[in-house]
Structure 1
Amino acid sequence: MSTAAPRATGQDHLWSVDEHLEDILATVRPLEPIELNLLDAQGCVLVDDITVPVSLPPFDNSSMDGYAVRVADVAGASEEFPAVLDVVGDVAAGQAGLLHVGPGQAARIMTGAPLPPGAEAVVPVEWTDGGLGEGPVAGMRARSLAPEAAGGQVRVHRPCEARAHVRAQGSDVKAGDRALDAGTILGPPQIALLAAIGRGTVRVRPRPRVVVLSTGSELVQPDEELAPGRIYDSNSFALTAAARDAGAIAYRVGAVADDAETLRTAIDDQLVRADLMVTTGGVSVGAYDVVKEALSHVGDEDEPGSGVEFRKLAMQPGKPQGFGSIGPDHTPLLALPGNPVSAYVSFELFVRPAIRTLMGLTDVHRPAARATLTADRPLTSPKARRQFLRGAYADGTVTPVGGAGSHLVAALARANALIVVPEDVTSVAPGDDVEVILLG
């Protein structure tokens, strides 16, 4: 189970933003860990610390195509007076049974090949005549496959220090070091490290499956004809994309008509693939706001602790909200307002932290910063409401984008931050210091 029942407070309680978020995070639980193959674990959160079983690199190896030499043999070498060394053979990457480099000798070596015993450094092929009169690296690689490659001489035109162009054993990580900490999100570099130390599977918390469902008989899908009185459904696209951005596997159901039975059926059908459900629309007090009616009967009615509570929050936009759990598995559900800006702001404040909690992360919030407000006139905010205005943030300043209307999608698309006006502040002047939530 991923949630417990939300606390009851009564329909008339005016919730603060912090109270509502606290209730969500107190009831949503991280998903149970599973063992996944590396590529399947991409985007998941690591459950355990990972210790390095073998050093990287596991042996001293060459960082260049060139010649493995003893330092004393090339001391003082120059174009006019090159060091002339006998070539005892080739060392290729992955080769076993190494040659030994003695005084006055060199071994042709490829990038990544183990440094042979006796050698102290690698001189790049560009510092030599290439051996047997051949210089290009491609020619060197071709010769390394030929039986006649051993023997001959190479002229080295520059000296080198000990360990030059040698990747030391354990110079990346040493056996016993901690490779990755529990709580790390596995991206391509982390997966590369796990593969490099020989881990084919890893224990992680899976990416949560989030189902996004928008409601409203007025909604039309993009590319369909827009009849009078209808609007395109943008919320389901915005919130599905936001859920994926937060780290979830998100499924977009699309628009469901304003019919309680149809909505109940749609939600019941989706429970099988949902760790979290998100609806948008139908949560205020309108005559066609059927989400409340539908969610009071959805899922397993006999399951103790199920149910969704609809609330009024002291915020703008996004005053009407719903939260609870539904079905036999107590799947958490967040019901968001239908206005596009209200829905998106509500997602950032409440749904995104819930997704990150399901993933097993401890830092679930967007980063916040302080910024200087740049605006043509003061910003006003309703008393006792925490207002979230869209803004463009850069270099410690933030400029409002669009107005306070909860339908202004174009302004939202130009914003990269939310300007936070606290409940006890009704006006913010240009030049004032404000809090901003950075949207990435």
Structure 2
Amino acid sequence: MHRTKTRHATVEAHREAVRRLLAPLRTPDRIERFPLLAALGRGLAEDIVAPLDLPSFANSQMDGFAIRSTDVPDDGAELRVAAPVPAGIAPAELAPGTAAPIMTGAMMPPGADAVVPIELAVPDSFPVPGEPATVRLPAAAAGNFVRNAGSDIRTGELALAAGTFLGPGQLGLLAALGFTEVPAYRALRILLVTTGDEVVEPGSPLGPGKIYDSNATLLETSMRQAGLEVTRTGISTDRPGELTGLLRRHTPDVDLIVTTGGVSKGAYEVVRQAMEGHDVEFLGVALQPGGPQGIGTFDGVPVLGFPGNPVSCLVSFEMFLRPVLGALFGSPAPRPAVRARLAEALTSPPGKHQVRRGTLRPDGTVGLEGGAGSHLVSALAHSNALVHVPDGIAALAEGAEVEVWML
């Protein structure tokens, strides 16, 4: 049933509530096997164990000469030049007293245990293949410029753990191990609904008291960037019955409903009214901006209600939905978090975790963009970071260190 009592929660507590709400979506039927390129940006659904060594054979790290290290004393030695070893062949055993020209990545000849770079040889060039030649080389310890088999990863070792975000590096490792496909989570389907009689679509006539809808664009692009499939309904009016009907038309085809607006304590909060009779709670989170939040289920489908101001809804996504999806499904990847020093002083309201927009500069300082207001879309557009001021901190001086999430 709808709960009318308003309670308050910390950022951490509400994020955990969002995690509990969405955890049942992590089911085996959401796992598919994707070709490597199609898996880019998804989360790995199962542990991957290496089926072979990487490298699978000892090979040269440099262009140079493969030698037996015991053939070259400390003061160097002159060795006969053996047949060259290009990449991609299985070479013959290296005879004692000889040095084999070897290319980077080529297999080490049996018997050879070190490589001397070509620039240290005298002469410092490879002889013409087939012509008798000698080369003077300095001493080299066993293992010098040799990539041993399994030095990257060994057969049977954990290559990637379930929950890993699959970026180019991870997919490159899977390709190097011989995989052509990978088990990953299917993207969640999100129904995105913006509400408000005062909101109109960009490009429409802007009458008195009307504003263009930026929330839908902010959130849809953020969600698509995070790998989600988004259905955007257009703008719902402030009539609860219309919103209820709109939601019911789409709930059979989505995994999660996200609304913006209509979750505060005003007289015409349409999301609150439309959720009457459903297991949805509206609460205040100790967050600025983004304090008013809704959470629960509508006809059995998880629903999150974000505030209506543009920056508030984006901060809500970044603070709650994005990190929870990353933790549950391995995608999207966490925002890179760095420490930076404030380029100016700031104040923060008591009892709230404040999130400010800012620009991280090359000198390691972060400058604030705009004020703390939740309507400052221009300041957001000129920012490349979110600046965090935790609960319990009322003021920070210029030069104070803060945590910054890169956007």
Shorter-chain TM-score tier: 0.7 to 0.9
In structure 1, the residue matched to 2:9 is 16
**C-alpha RMSD of matched pairs (Å):** 4.0
1:167 maps onto 2:133 in alignment: no
Equivalent residue for 2:44, pick from 43, 46, 51? 46
For residue 374 of structure 2, give the secondary structure of its aligned residue in structure 1. Answer: coil
Q: 1:120 to 1:154 in 2, by over 3 A?
A: farther
State the alpha-carbon separation in 1 of the partners of residues 251 and 264 from structure 2. 24
Q: 1:74 to 1:153 in 2, by over 3 A?
A: farther
State the alpha-carbon separation in 2 of the partners of residues 325 and 368 from structure 1. 35
Q: CA deviation at 1:323?
A: 1.6
1:390 maps onto 2:356 in alignment: yes
Please say if residues 129 and 156 of structure 1, whose CA atoms lie closer than 8 Å, have aligned partners that are also in contact.
no
State the alpha-carbon separation in 1 of the partners of residues 165 and 270 from structure 2. 39
For residue 39 of structure 1, give the secondary structure of its aligned residue in structure 2. Answer: helix
State the alpha-carbon separation in 1 of the partners of residues 71 and 15 from structure 2. 71
Please say if residues 3 and 280 of structure 2, whose CA atoms lie closer than 8 Å, have aligned partners that are also in contact.
no
Task: Could you tell me which runs of 5 or more consecutive residues in structure 2 were left unpaired when the two chains were aligned.
Answer: none
Q: 1:364 to 1:117 in 2, by over 3 A?
A: closer
Q: CA deviation at 1:387?
A: 5.6
Q: Return the letter of the residue paired with 2:154.
A: K
Please say if residues 84 and 102 of structure 2, whose CA atoms lie closer than 8 Å, have aligned partners that are also in contact.
yes
Please say if residues 55 and 174 of structure 1, whose CA atoms lie closer than 8 Å, have aligned partners that are also in contact.
yes
For residue 240 of structure 1, give the secondary structure of its aligned residue in structure 2. Answer: helix
In structure 1, the residue matched to 2:111 is 118
Q: Return the letter of the residue paired with 1:342.
A: S
Deviations 1:1-46 (A, max 9, x none): xxxxxxx683132322355444333332152242423333333333
State the alpha-carbon separation in 2 of the partners of residues 433 and 76 from structure 1. 56
In structure 2, the residue matched to 1:428 is 395
1:214 maps onto 2:214 in alignment: no
In structure 2, the residue matched to 1:408 is 376
State the alpha-carbon separation in 2 of the partners of residues 66 and 433 from structure 1. 52
The range that moved more, 165-174 or 154-163, is 154-163
Q: CA deviation at 1:281?
A: 1.9
Please say if residues 43 and 207 of structure 1, whose CA atoms lie closer than 8 Å, have aligned partners that are also in contact.
no
Q: Return the letter of the residue paired with 1:31.
A: R
In structure 1, the residue matched to 2:386 is 417
Please say if residues 392 and 401 of structure 1, whose CA atoms lie closer than 8 Å, have aligned partners that are also in contact.
yes
Q: 1:389 to 1:189 in 2, by over 3 A?
A: closer
Equivalent residue for 2:61, pick from 60, 63, 76? 63
In structure 2, the residue matched to 1:276 is 256
In structure 1, the residue matched to 2:33 is 36
State the alpha-carbon separation in 1 of the partners of residues 253 and 108 from structure 2. 54
Q: Return the letter of the residue paired with 1:231.
A: I
Please say if residues 200 and 213 of structure 2, whose CA atoms lie closer than 8 Å, have aligned partners that are also in contact.
yes
For these two proteins, the number of residue pairs brought into alignment is 392
In structure 1, the residue matched to 2:303 is 333
Q: Return the letter of the residue paired with 2:175.
A: A
TM-score normalised by structure 1 residue count: 0.72
Higher Rg of the two aligned structures: 1
Equivalent residue for 1:152, pick from 106, 127, 131? 131
Q: Return the letter of the residue paired with 1:324.
A: G
State the alpha-carbon separation in 2 of the partners of residues 386 and 413 from structure 1. 24
1:438 maps onto 2:392 in alignment: no
Task: Could you tell me which runs of 5 or more consecutive residues in structure 1 were left unpaired when the two chains were aligned.
Answer: 1-7, 133-148, 298-305
For residue 46 of structure 1, give the secondary structure of its aligned residue in structure 2. Answer: coil
Q: CA deviation at 1:59?
A: 1.3
Q: 1:272 to 1:158 in 2, by over 3 A?
A: farther
